[in-house]
Amino acid sequence: KLALAERIRGHVLSLALQMYGCRVIQKALEFIPSDQQVINEMVRELDGHVLKCVKDQNGNHVVQKCIECVQPHALQFIIDAFKGQVCLY
C-alpha cells in the first residue's frame, strides 16, 4: 500500500481529475492508514486546487473522500479554500 502511495505521489491532481484515476486516489485514501505521513503528502498535492476539484465531477469525489478518510488536522487547506467562496443567505 505504501509502495502504491509512493508511485501516486506527484500525480494526485491529474489522477483526481480523471474518471478512473479518481477511483485510484479514493481507494488509496481508504486503504492506506490515515496516520501514515504519505497520505498527508498526497492530500497536500490538492492544495491550491481544491475549488477546481470540487467543480469537477471526478475531483469532487476525491475531495469528499479526503474529508471522510484523512485526519482533520491535515484538511485545513480544504476549509481555507472555501473561505470567501460560500455565500450564506
Query: What is the per-residue pLDDT across 5-53, written as a single tens digit (0 to 9) for each?
Result: 889 999 999 999 999 999 999 999 999 888 888 889 999 999 999 999 9
Between residues 87 and 35, which one has the greater pLDDT?
35
For 81, residues 6+ apart whose C-beta sits below 8 A from its C-beta are: 50, 51
Pull the grid cell for residue 31. Answer: 486503504
59 and 69 in contact (C-beta within 8 Å)?
no
**pLDDT tens digits along 60-86:** 999 999 999 999 999 999 999 988 776
Q: What is the pLDDT of residue 88?
A: 59
Could you tell me which of 45, 33, 24 has the C-alpha nearest to residue 70? 33
- Provide the whole-model pTM: 0.89
DSSP H stretches of helix in 9-56:
12-16, 21-31, 37-44, 50-55
